[in-house]
A and B are shown apart, each in its own frame.
Chain A
Amino acid sequence: MTDGPLIVQSDKTLLLDIDHPLSTECRRAIAPFAELERSPEHIHTYRLTPLGLWNARAAGHDAEQVIDTLIEYSRYAVPHSILIDVAETMSRYGRLRLEADPVYGLILVTTDTAVLEEVIRARKIAPLLGARIDAETIAVLPSQRGAIKQSLLRLGWPAEDFAGYVDGQAHPIDLVQKDWTIRPYQELAAEGFWHGGSGVVVLPCGAGKTIVGAAAMAHAKATTLILVTNTIAARQWREELLHRTTLNEDEIGEYSGAKKEIRPVTIATYQVMTKKKNGVYAHLDLFDTHDWGLIIYDEVHLLPAPIFRFTADIQSRRRLGLTATLVREDGMEGEVFSLIGPKRYDVPWKEIESQGYIAPAECIEVRVNLTDEERLLYATAEPENRYRTCATTRTKRIVAEALVKKHAGEQILVIGQYIDQLDELSETLGVPLIKGDTPIKEREILFNKFRSGEITCLVVSKVANFSIDLPDATIAIQVSGAFGSRQEEAQRLGRILRPKSDGRTAKFYSVISRDTIDQDFAQNRQRFLAEQGYSYKIIDADDVFQGKI
């Protein structure tokens, strides 16, 4: 019996004892093939999944290495069935390869004819194929490179894509590190991506994903299309790129609802790309107008379905996905794997926090007792209105106000889902509100005032969930959310994670109505943060009023 830091469970989870002297070494060893599921304070849980194992294969690890690692660090004997399963799963990757061919364009090559026979008989795959060349090779319609990868993954025979990439139209881009330097993990992430060709980089909010994007562009030195969630994010990307790279204003274009510029580096929003005109996606040809050398997907976990469909058609271009979490509430992780690419870099939040690159944060759930009247209202509400009823109670507003008062002087964001509630809050607090219909110009003015400290408190709707850089916000108060969405919670926390000039701890309050579904949803959302290692506390609303916290 060795005394390793790792316990391999029969349900394919790996428990890593992080207080063990070998834990760091072990983490490095298992990170390539096991997906970090949660990382609370003592024991981190990783999971062996087919995607994770295939990611490892894509990164050049073989089953032997994985098995040796498991056995080496395991505290108890590794269940035999798991060893067999790992070997079995990993052997499925790479039996099929997509390659470029001078005659046929794109071919599917196998080392195992039985597998090829199996897949070409699959109903979904047959229409994507061309002529059979020999026993081990079959032509693939070049336009179906993405579709075939998707279908093969679903069959459990993921194909390795060696068909290469087009270079795209060259365009000089370099990083300009005058008043800043790239952080080691950002550099590693960009390099990991570049060597892999295409793929996803997972970094926490506030860890500087934009810079990873810029570094990737500096590697590619080619025209780049950047897809972001909304206009504000587009403008921030533009600012960042102007600041960090050799690009000048004329080289960067914005393609959004407001402007339709196409430049060597173009930043487009998901919204405009998926806008339909007369039943067709009017702007999707943006992908084709230029010979892009690189396409960057910001917040890849939010990628809408039409973009996936289009991404399937541009498999010959390099693709970089950036995200804070691969968790998708819609379970489309497999699509991200087959269409954007395997995970190329990943580091736990806490590790970056401990290196001082993101601010430490404390999460506090404030439980509010509803008044008898509110309880009655909640109990009789229609099922579809129940969440809204309990999420927008007056009592909550009072608590939110008390919290704002308590932290007077600090930079505070009040975040909510329901506009009525936010209107009221904005009014009673005497604080400006940014919501969906706030004009972009006005939004920018308000954000700038907030950054400069001219105003210290903002009420924001879900428009501010993503990619808004508000470095000095230290307090976030969440009064309502999108039901139980875990990634929303992570994004909102991300708003206050930029490192503070004084190294202060950020505070994230969630105001929750006790004994309602609000509490259940809150639990689901917080689970994600607790699993990421953020400590959180539950307090009663009375504690806020009595100033106990």
Chain B
Amino acid sequence: MRSFSDYLRSIDDASFLELFTARPDLITPVPPDISSLSVRACSAPSLARAIDSLNQWQFQVLEAAGTLNEPFSVKSLVALTHKAATSALEHLIAIGLVYPSNDGMRLPSQLRDLIGNEPAGLGPSSMVKLKLADLDNAPADAKKVLERLIWGPPRGSVGDIKNPGPGVAWLLERKFLVPLDQRTVILPREVGLYLRGGKTHKEMFIAAPTLSGVKRDERQVNRAAIANISTVLRWVEELLNFWAEEPADALRAGGLGVRDLKIIATHLGLEESCTAFIVELAYLASLISIDPTNRIMPSNKFDIWLMQTPSDRWQAIASAWLITSRVSGLVGRAEAKNVAALGPELDRVNATRVRALTLSILTENESLSPDSKSFNELLAWRAPVRRNSSSQEELATWTLREAEWLGITGQGAISKYGVRFLNGDELDLINSDLPKTVDHILIQSDNTAIAPGPLEHEISQQLAIMAEIESRGGATVYRFSEATIRRALDHGKTGDEIRSFLKKTSKTPMPQPLEYLITDVAKKHGKLRVGNTSSFIRCEDTSLISQIMLDKKLDILSLRRIAPEVVVCDHDATELVRLLRESGYLPAVESANGLMLMGARANRALTKPRPPRVIGEIEIPSEDSLNSAIRAIRTGEKSTNKQTRLRQVANEALGALPRSTANETMDLVNRFIIEEKSLSIGYADNNGSVTHRIIDPIRVSAGSLIARDHATGEVQSFRIPRITGVAPI
């Protein structure tokens, strides 16, 4: 047993379970058999993902393993690092980054490419035996050179290799430095290790750095969190109500324009960054939809959402946020172009991973509001960054900020609601902990009304029509003015209705000036009438107008007489003229004017909401699906074995070119690379004719197999898709 696929064939279900839990991409989709699984597990993207999941210590151990020649023993690894490496190694084995073969530990092929040629800053092994003890007596000049190279990178440049300085010359002579080309020298691995005192790393980061910050009182944390929860729900609702009245226009390139974002920010009284977050939340939770005419409006789901309990409403937006790969923190950032909320440029591959990691750090440190420096240190240990390195700290900072806005944290520390939410527990206690809604307001003589707590939904809807919100928070301050009363009248309320609603709702007597204001505005409202119509008939002769109104043949026009001499009609003027003429009248057409649409309407998009998809991360499957995946692979494996055997029998009988499936090919190639044995392959040339080659495989790189061709004796690259089959000789 020497190849990775052999190893996979040897492990039990429990080990598979662990492997797939750590690397769900291996069974997405479920591979047909173990060879395919092995190929996938050894592919660069999958290995990179697995490496990303390591903490700094585990990565150091992996790097140390990378400096050893295969196969290596656990003992030699521990010697290079620390005795704690054994447990880290167990983890590396569990997730398939190191595997035990019958002669020692090995790394999956390709893994070395990912750790780099110079793991832990150590150069390649020396080709010759070195007298390392001589290093202790190196002259000062040479020591100076070594100082520079000891902790990597192991390369140094020299003026001219033919004419080196005394230190370099001393080292070159003893092969403690090896020339790479005219100007570059490299420090062999053995020398580096010797100088490092036999350890691969200067400092072993075995334990996570401790997180420091401010200890918060649990009660205060939860109070702050529940306030945040109620606030974020209010923000979302207000945003959508705003767009229901006045839908925003999406940019042609997709997303919400800066101007529209500013308008909402002003309306909500928030910073633009927070506004962008709220907008994205609504989008993620399918509460808004962009219709085909590019208008951004609440979706039908918004109405359903409004009917739900606060905990359900919160869960809907918080869960969408938890799994999204979109990063609202990027909004407004001038990168190549302005990044817009709701736009197509907000996806970041590692967003979900960093978010989950950030939240889990918070959860592990209850009632602690971490300070950012210490938090970033811990983050860097938990996820030593290699991929998308620049954004990790930023993403974490944004996550902390957003978690606070959402109420997952309060005063920077995880709240009990956050803990329950992340565990997937019931959130009913949100409903009971939210401040009790109030059913009354206090009207004051300066034409303001104050709701001393969150208002009941019905009342706040009504008030929002009659008054302008002046201040938001735990309480709401409304201001009445001529314009707001007029708006209420426009919405079809009468002066009496407004008065009686306010009298009923207010705990305090209605001040006289407000009453006067309402009466005054109601009296004036509607003196001027405005309406829509398509065409009109006017005539000085009122009896002719009366005749038209009574004419049975014209009933179809549903004419309306708005003045003794004027009749309006919803039909088009041409149509009207035609019908009048048919009925024996002699109308003449007046020049027409464009008409305007009036009146506010709560709009809903006609299209179904299309929430953004999640990219980047693959969800960890449930145990059931993991088990069924394992079963499927096992079954597939059995049948593949049978097929392979049958095909081999056939091949031998016919003496034909080797044939194997793509996965078998890779599996065999990988195995033969490790075993350093010759292979027989079928290889298609540019014209598609297949030739038989005998090769010694060296490595697989960028879709090609690098191998020495026995026929030519040269190292050549073979494109893997062109290999029709491989067979051992």
Q: Which residues of B sit under 8 angstroms from A11, Cβ to Cβ?
A: 269, 471-473
User: Knowing A43-B452, A530-B446, A536-B445 touch, does A9 contact B471 (C-beta < 8 A)?
Assistant: yes
Bound together, the chains give a CA A339 to CA B442 distance in angstroms of: 40
User: Knowing A41-B444, A42-B442, A43-B442 touch, does A77 contact B475 (C-beta < 8 A)?
Assistant: no
The answer to whether A530 touches B447, judged by C-beta atoms less than 8 angstroms apart, is: yes
The answer to whether B448 touches A40, judged by C-beta atoms less than 8 angstroms apart, is: yes
The answer to whether A536 touches B471, judged by C-beta atoms less than 8 angstroms apart, is: no
The answer to whether A40 touches B473, judged by C-beta atoms less than 8 angstroms apart, is: no
The answer to whether A43 touches B445, judged by C-beta atoms less than 8 angstroms apart, is: no
Closest to A47 in B: B471
Contact code string B447-491 (vs A, CB < 8 Å = 1, else 0): 110101100000000000000000111110100000000000000
Q: Which of B223, B269, B508 contacts A41 (CB 8 A)?
A: B508
Query: Could you say which of B203-211, B224-232, B376-384 contacts chain A?
Result: B224-232
Q: Which residues of A sit under 8 angstroms from B411, Cβ to Cβ?
A: 80
Most buried by B among A1, A76, A530: A76
Closest to B479 in A: A527
Q: Counting CB contacts under 8 A, is A10 at the interface?
A: yes
Q: Which of B412, B446, B474, B477 contacts A8 (CB 8 A)?
A: B474
Q: Counting CB contacts under 8 A, is A537 at the interface?
A: yes
Q: Counting CB contacts under 8 A, is B526 at the interface?
A: no
Contact code string B508-519 (vs A, CB < 8 Å = 1, else 0): 100111001100
The answer to whether A77 touches B226, judged by C-beta atoms less than 8 angstroms apart, is: yes
The answer to whether B224 touches A527, judged by C-beta atoms less than 8 angstroms apart, is: no
The answer to whether B435 touches A1, judged by C-beta atoms less than 8 angstroms apart, is: yes
The answer to whether B446 touches A80, judged by C-beta atoms less than 8 angstroms apart, is: no
Q: Which residues of A sit under 8 angstroms from B696, Cβ to Cβ?
A: none
Q: Counting CB contacts under 8 A, is A79 at the interface?
A: yes
A3-50 residues at the B interface, CB under 8 angstroms:
7-11, 13, 15, 17, 38, 40-43, 45
Q: Counting CB contacts under 8 A, is A410 at the interface?
A: no
Q: Which residues of B sit under 8 angstroms from A13, Cβ to Cβ?
A: 471, 473, 477
Q: Which residues of A sit under 8 angstroms from B508, Cβ to Cβ?
A: 41-42
Q: Which residues of A sit under 8 angstroms from B269, Cβ to Cβ?
A: 10-11
Q: Which residues of B sit under 8 angstroms from A71, Cβ to Cβ?
A: 220
Contact code string A508-526 (vs B, CB < 8 Å = 1, else 0): 0000000100000000000
Closest to A537 in B: B512
B333-360 residues at the A interface, CB under 8 angstroms:
none
Q: Counting CB contacts under 8 A, is B190 at the interface?
A: no
Q: Counting CB contacts under 8 A, is B33 at the interface?
A: no
Q: Counting CB contacts under 8 A, is B404 at the interface?
A: yes
Q: Which of B404, B435, B475 contacts A80 (CB 8 A)?
A: B404
Bound together, the chains give a CA A80 to CA B474 distance in angstroms of: 13
Minimum CB–CB distance for B462 against chain A, Å = 20
User: Knowing A1-B223, A43-B450, A76-B453 touch, does A10 contact B231 (C-beta < 8 A)?
Assistant: yes
The answer to whether A15 touches B445, judged by C-beta atoms less than 8 angstroms apart, is: no
The answer to whether A42 touches B444, judged by C-beta atoms less than 8 angstroms apart, is: yes
Contact code string B630-672 (vs A, CB < 8 Å = 1, else 0): 0000000000000000000000000000000000000000000
Minimum CB–CB distance for A539 against chain B, Å = 8
The answer to whether A9 touches B442, judged by C-beta atoms less than 8 angstroms apart, is: no
Residue total for B at the interface (Cβ-Cβ under 8 A): 35
A381-430 residues at the B interface, CB under 8 angstroms:
none
Closest to A1 in B: B435
The answer to whether B474 touches A9, judged by C-beta atoms less than 8 angstroms apart, is: yes
Q: Which residues of B sit under 8 angstroms from A80, Cβ to Cβ?
A: 224, 228, 404, 410-412
B226-245 residues at the A interface, CB under 8 angstroms:
226-228, 231
Bound together, the chains give a CA A77 to CA B453 distance in angstroms of: 12
Bound together, the chains give a CA A65 to CA B453 distance in angstroms of: 25
B153-191 residues at the A interface, CB under 8 angstroms:
none
Q: Counting CB contacts under 8 A, is A538 at the interface?
A: yes
A128-148 residues at the B interface, CB under 8 angstroms:
none
Closest to B517 in A: A538
Q: Which residues of B sit under 8 angstroms from A1, Cβ to Cβ?
A: 223, 435
User: Knowing A43-B452, A77-B226 touch, does A9 contact B444 (C-beta < 8 A)?
Assistant: no
Bound together, the chains give a CA A255 to CA B442 distance in angstroms of: 52
Minimum CB–CB distance for B463 against chain A, Å = 15
Closest to A82 in B: B473
User: Knowing A11-B472, A40-B446 touch, does A45 contact B477 (C-beta < 8 A)?
Assistant: yes
Q: Which residues of A sit under 8 angstroms from B472, Cβ to Cβ?
A: 9-11
Bound together, the chains give a CA A535 to CA B512 distance in angstroms of: 9
A344-403 residues at the B interface, CB under 8 angstroms:
365
Q: Which of B227, B404, B524 contacts A77 (CB 8 A)?
A: B227
User: Knowing A7-B473, A13-B471, A40-B444 touch, does A538 contact B513 (C-beta < 8 A)?
Assistant: yes
The answer to whether A9 touches B475, judged by C-beta atoms less than 8 angstroms apart, is: yes
Q: Counting CB contacts under 8 A, is A75 at the interface?
A: yes
Q: Which residues of B sit under 8 angstroms from A531, Cβ to Cβ?
A: 446
Minimum CB–CB distance for A127 against chain B, Å = 36
Q: Which residues of A sit under 8 angstroms from B513, Cβ to Cβ?
A: 365, 530, 536-538
Q: Which residues of A sit under 8 angstroms from B445, Cβ to Cβ?
A: 40-41, 530, 535-536
Minimum CB–CB distance for A497 against chain B, Å = 18
Q: Which residues of A sit under 8 angstroms from B511, Cβ to Cβ?
A: 535
User: Knowing A43-B444, A43-B450 touch, does A77 contact B223 (C-beta < 8 A)?
Assistant: yes
Q: Which of B223, B404, B446, B474 contacts A7 (CB 8 A)?
A: B474
The answer to whether B473 touches A9, judged by C-beta atoms less than 8 angstroms apart, is: yes
User: Knowing A10-B473, A40-B448, A43-B444 touch, does A538 contact B223 (C-beta < 8 A)?
Assistant: no
Bound together, the chains give a CA A17 to CA B438 distance in angstroms of: 15
The answer to whether A75 touches B474, judged by C-beta atoms less than 8 angstroms apart, is: yes
Bound together, the chains give a CA A41 to CA B513 distance in angstroms of: 14
Minimum CB–CB distance for A58 against chain B, Å = 27
The answer to whether A527 touches B442, judged by C-beta atoms less than 8 angstroms apart, is: no
Bound together, the chains give a CA A257 to CA B231 distance in angstroms of: 61
Q: Which residues of A sit under 8 angstroms from B226, Cβ to Cβ?
A: 77
Bound together, the chains give a CA A79 to CA B472 distance in angstroms of: 11
Contact code string A156-175 (vs B, CB < 8 Å = 1, else 0): 00000000000000000000
Most buried by B among A11, A13, A80: A80
Contact code string A54-90 (vs B, CB < 8 Å = 1, else 0): 0000000000000000010011111110000000000
Most buried by A among B226, B446, B447, B524: B446
Bound together, the chains give a CA A78 to CA B227 distance in angstroms of: 8
Bound together, the chains give a CA A74 to CA B446 distance in angstroms of: 24
Closest to B481 in A: A523
Q: Which residues of A sit under 8 angstroms from B517, Cβ to Cβ?
A: 538
Minimum CB–CB distance for A372 against chain B, Å = 15
Contact code string B408-436 (vs A, CB < 8 Å = 1, else 0): 00111000000000000000000000010
Most buried by B among A7, A11, A515, A535: A7
Q: Which residues of A sit under 8 angstroms from B471, Cβ to Cβ?
A: 9, 11, 13, 15, 45
Q: Which residues of A sit under 8 angstroms from B512, Cβ to Cβ?
A: 537-538
Bound together, the chains give a CA A515 to CA B523 distance in angstroms of: 12
The answer to whether B442 touches A8, judged by C-beta atoms less than 8 angstroms apart, is: no
Minimum CB–CB distance for B107 against chain A, Å = 48
Bound together, the chains give a CA A10 to CA B231 distance in angstroms of: 10
Minimum CB–CB distance for A472 against chain B, Å = 27
Bound together, the chains give a CA A17 to CA B223 distance in angstroms of: 21
Minimum CB–CB distance for B408 against chain A, Å = 13
Q: Which of A43, A76, A527, A535 contacts B474 (CB 8 A)?
A: A76
Minimum CB–CB distance for A237 against chain B, Å = 34
Q: Which residues of A sit under 8 angstroms from B442, Cβ to Cβ?
A: 42-43
Bound together, the chains give a CA A1 to CA B453 distance in angstroms of: 12
Bound together, the chains give a CA A399 to CA B269 distance in angstroms of: 44
Q: Which 6 A-B pairs have the closest CB atoms?
A: A9-B473, A76-B474, A77-B227, A530-B446, A40-B444, A538-B516
Q: Mind listing 10 A-B residue pairs with CB under 8 Å? A: A10-B472, A11-B471, A13-B471, A15-B450, A40-B446, A76-B435, A80-B410, A530-B445, A530-B447, A538-B513
| Residues of B that sit less than 8 Å from A by CB | 220, 223-224, 226-228, 231, 269, 404, 410-412, 435, 442, 444-448, 450, 452-453, 471-475, 477, 508, 511-513, 516-517, 524
Q: A17-B452, A537-B513, A537-B516 are in contact. List 4 more A-B contacts (CB 8 A).
A: A11-B269, A40-B445, A40-B448, A75-B474
